[in-house]
Structure 1
Amino acid sequence: MKSTEQARRGKARRISSIWLVPAVALAIGVWMAYDTVASRGPLVTLEMNTAEGIEAGKTLIKVKEVAVGRVESVGLSDDFSRAKVSARMFDGTEAMLNEESNFWVVKPRIGRDGISGLNTLLSGAYIELSPGNGDQEQRYFTTLSQPPVLRAREKGVSIVLQSLESNSLNPGDPVLYRGYTVGRVESADFAIEAQQSVYKLFIEDPFAELVTEQVRFWSSSGVQLELGSEGFRFDIGSLESLIAGGVSFDIVGNQPPGQRVSDGTEFQLFRSQGAARQEGFTQYANFLLYLDESVRGLSSGAPVEFRGIRVGTVIEVPYTGEHQLGSSLMNMKVPVLIRFEPERLGPQFSAVTIQDWQQQLHSLFEEGLRASLRSGNLLTGALYVDLNFHPNEPLLIAESAGDFPVFPTVRGGSGQLDQKVGELLDNVNTIDFGQFAATSEDTLRAIQQFATQLESLAADPDMQALPATLRQTLDELDRMMAGYSTDAPAYNDLSRAIERLDHILSNLEPFAESVRDKPSSLFFNSPLPADPEPRSEQ
C-alpha cells in the first residue's frame, strides 16, 4: 500500500506591532541611562562648617556664574562635628579638580569690598569653585569660610614684604599705586626666628609692570599725621585703606624705574612714605655735631638745611656710638649724628663721589661753614640743623672723633629765642590785671552815667523843640536868598543903579585927569589954545 504524504500549508505567526512602542521606549531609556552615566562628571565630597542654604538636588556648583555641578546629598561627618556634602560634577570638569582648587559658599556678606552676594537672596545660595593649577587630582575638599583674596589662574606678580615693625596688615588689604588699587595682600605671617613680619602681596596685570627694582613700599594704614619742624603733614589714602589699611608703593626720587621683578622678590616695608624716601638716598656722608646747647625739640628725621634748601637728615639724637655720649657730656656737649645727602640736590650732584663731597666740605669749613640749631616751628618747638657761613667764628673742632668726621658748630638762636620768650612771659606776669579790671569797671561806669545824662537831655522839652526852630530858621534863610535871584525885582533895581553909577563915573573921568595934571585949574580958568596958522607955499 502506497502512502503519500501531503504537505499542509498554513500562515506563519507574526509579532504584533503593538510591541514596537515599548521596545523603542526601552531602547530610549537604555540610551538615556547610558548617556547619563557616560556624560556625568566625577563625584566630589565637600566638608564645611554648616550646610546653611544647601539643598540636595537643587544647589548648584558654579564657576564664573556657569553651572558645573549639582549637590546630590547633604549629611554629617562621622563625628557629627561638620557637614558633608556630596556633589556630582558635570562632564568635562575633571581638570578643575586638583589640590589647588577652592570651594566656598556664596551668600550675602559685608566685607572690605562692600556688600556681595545679594543675588542669592532670590535664587538661593550656591557653591563657587575656583579651579586650581595643580597637577594632582583631588575629590575631597574642605570649603573656605570666606572667599579667597585672589582667584587662581590670575596673572600678575607675587612679592614678599619684610618689616621689623608691626604694621597690622591683614589678608585682603589693598595694595595702592598713587591712590589706585592694583593688588591685594595675600597672607600675613610672623617669622619667629627673624623676629619680623612677613607679608605676601599679589599685583595683578597690567599693573605688575609697575613693580620694578627701584620701587619702595610703605604702610598707608589709616590717617598719618606728622608734626615736625616743617609744620603739620596730613596724609590719607583711599576710603578702603582708611577703614582697613593697606600698602602703597612708588618710585621715590628721580631714579630710573629699572627692570620688572620676578615672583618671590623681597622688599622692605617702611612705616611711612618719608621713611621710604629717606632710604632711597644711597650716597651720603655722615658727620658728628657737638652742641653746647639744649637739643630738646631736635629729633631723628629732622631736616638739615643750607639757606632753606634741605641737604640732609638728622639720624640720631643723641649719638651713642663708640661711647661718644658719656665722654661728650663730660665736656658739656651733646653729640648729634647727621647725614649729608647730595642726591637731594638733583641727579647731576649724584655723580660726584662721597669722597669728593667730604673734601669740598672740609675746604668750606676753613671758609666759615658752620652748623647750628634753628627753631622750625614755634608752636611745636621743633628744631632743625641749619648750615651757613660764619667767617668770624673760629674753627674749634675739625678733626675726626670716633666713627665719623666732625662738622664745626656755632651756638644757634634757639636758646636766645627761648630766653626772649621767657622774658616776654615775665613781663606779662608783672601786669596787674586786677587794677586793669578795676580801671575798666570805672570807665564803664562813667560811660553809663554819660549815657544817662544824654537820655535826660533828650527828654527836655526845649531840646525836643530845637529841631522845629532850626527848621523855621532854615526856611527864612531860604526865602531871603530867593530875593536875590536874577528874576527878583530887587535884583533888577540894583542892576540899574549900578549902570547909572558907571555912567556918572565915565563923565567924571576927563575932569579927574585935568585936575591931576593941573591942580590950579580948580581955581583959574585954563588958557585957550591958539588958533592954528596955515603954512605958506614956497
Structure 2
Amino acid sequence: MAERQTTVGAFVLGGALLGVTAIALFGQFHPFSPTSRAVVVFDSPINGLGVGAPVTFDGVQVGHVDHIAVQFDPQTHQAYIPVTLELQANGAHMAGSHGKVLDSRELPKLVENGLRAELHMQSFVTGQEEIDLTFDPSVPAHLHPGISPLPEIPARESEMQKLTDALTALPLKNIANNADAMLVSIRTLADKLDKDLPPLVDSVRATSDHTRVTVDTATDAIRDLDHHMDTTLASINNLADTGTAQLDARGSELHTLLVNSNETVTEAKGALAGLHDITAPSSADRSNIDSSLRDLAAAAAALRGFATDVERNPQLLLMGRRN
C-alpha cells in the first residue's frame, strides 16, 4: 500500500513539474526570470487590446499586458486607460555591460532618451492588438503623474491611429452632400443631353449631307471649268500663233511698202530739187519748193523710224506705242 502511494505521489509530482515547465516554456509565466512592471496610459480607445497581449521591443517580445483599468479625472472630465505591463528585465541588455535595459530602475532614463509605447495591430482578421516599445525622441514625453505608482512609458500615436484621426477629421458629410449634388447635376445633364442630342445629331447629319452635295457640285463645276479652260487656252494659243504669223507676213509687206514709200519720197525730193534749181531765188515757187522739200525730208525720217520700230517689235501694228 505504501509503495502504491509512493508511486502515485511520484507520478503526481512529475506531472506537476511537467505542467510548470510547460507553462514556463509556452505561457506567460516565468518563475525563474526576473520581471519589472511599468504602465502605459492611453487617453483614446484601445479596442482589441486585452490582458495577456504581447509586449514587443521593435518586434521582439519582451513581456505581456498584465492589467487594464479605466480612471476618470473629474477635473478634466477625461477618461484614462492605464495598461500595466509585465516586462522581462533581462529581455534586453545594454551593449558593453550586463545592465538590464527593462529594469524598473532604468526605465526613467530610457524614457528621457526617447522610449515610447504604441498600439500595433497584431491581426487584421481578429482585430487583436499588441504594445510595441521603440525609441522615438521626436515624440514629446506626455506623462500622467498620479495615475499609477509604476514607472510610466509615454504613449505615441500609431500609424493606424493617425490614419483613423485623419479620416475622422475629414468632412465626410460635406463630401457626401457635394457628391449627391454632383450626381444630381450629372443626372440633369444626362437628361438634357438625351433630350437635345438627337435633334442636334439630325441637324449635323443634314448639314453634312448638304455639305457633301455642295462639295460634289463644286467638284463637278471645277472639273468642267478645267476642261473649258484647257479648250480656251488652246484657242488662245492658236490665235496667238495665227496673229504672230499674220504679223510676220504684214510686217514683211509693210517693210516693202515703207521701202517703196521711202524711194518715192527720195524721187520726189530729187524732182523738187531739180525744180529748186530752175526757179528764181526770190520767187514764191522757190519758197514753196523749199517748204515741200523740208516736209518730204521729215516724212522720210518718220517712215524710216517707223519701219525700224516695226522691225524690232511687230506687235506695234496691233497694240500701238505705250507712253
Instruction: Calculate the TM-score normalised by the size of structure 2.
Output: 0.43
The structure showing larger relative contact order (alpha-carbon pairs under 8 Å, at least 6 residues apart) is: 2
Q: Which has the higher strand share?
A: 1
Instruction: Calculate the TM-score normalised by the size of structure 1.
Output: 0.27
Point out the structure with max Rg over C-alpha: 2
Q: Which has the higher helix share?
A: 2
